[in-house]
Amino acid sequence: MKILKIDHLGIAVKSIDEGKNFWTDVLGLPFEGSETVQEQKVTTAFFPVGESEVELLESTAPDGPIAKYLEKKGEGIQHVAFRVENIDQALAELKEKGIRLIDEKPRIGAGGAKIAFLHPKSTNGVLVELCER
Ligand code: ZN
């Protein structure tokens, strides 16, 4: 498995409209627009930072994963995403090493990336996303 870099940090917010001001107005990061991923009940907004990005996540439904996260933990870092060279190979390798996978097969996330999540029980409590673009 080859990890290329930290692709992005996923941050759960109540509202992208309100939440983005810190990242754009205060930190001066460019705002590259938002995108809704219907099957995950989430709207995402990306803010490039050097080779990586900040991803703000806003729920589109009260039963979505981000709504549940906000209810339990409030706003904050929800996941860390690593870009890998080959996501299918990475998942097969991690499975063989006994890592619990949330997604056995990659699905399509924001920006058309192939993504898959690893279970926090196997990763020191961090929700880890793998992505291939
Ligand atoms: Zn993400």
Q: What would you measure as the largest C-alpha separation in the chain, in angstroms?
A: 45
Q: Which has the closest alpha carbon to 56: 72, 77, 71, 39?
A: 77
d(CA 121, ligand 1 centre) in Å = 18
110 has a pLDDT exceeding 90: no
Instruction: Give bridge partners of residue 132 from the DSSP assignment.
Output: 114
Taking a C-beta distance cutoff of 8 angstroms, is the pair 111, 32 a contact?
A: no
Q: Is the pLDDT of residue 130 over 90?
A: yes
**How close is the Cα of 96 to the center of ligand 1, in Å?**
24
Say if residue 99 is exposed, middle or buried (CB neighbours under 10 Å; 0-12, 13-18, 19+).
middle
CA of 129 relative to ligand 1 center, distance in Å: 6
Residue 32 confidence (pLDDT)? 86
Which pLDDT does position 39 carry in this prediction? 87
Residue 111 Cα to ligand 1 middle (Å): 10
Domains of the chain: 3-132 (3.10.180.10)
- pLDDT score, position 5: 98
Dist CA 23 CA 70 (whole Å): 19
**Cα 10 to middle of ligand 1, angstroms:** 5
Q: pLDDT tens-digit profile of 45-96?
A: 999 999 999 999 999 999 999 999 999 999 999 999 999 999 999 999 999 9
| The pLDDT of residue 111 | 85
Burial 67-98 (b: 16+ CB within 10 A, else e): bebbeeeeeeebbebbbbeebeebbeebeeee
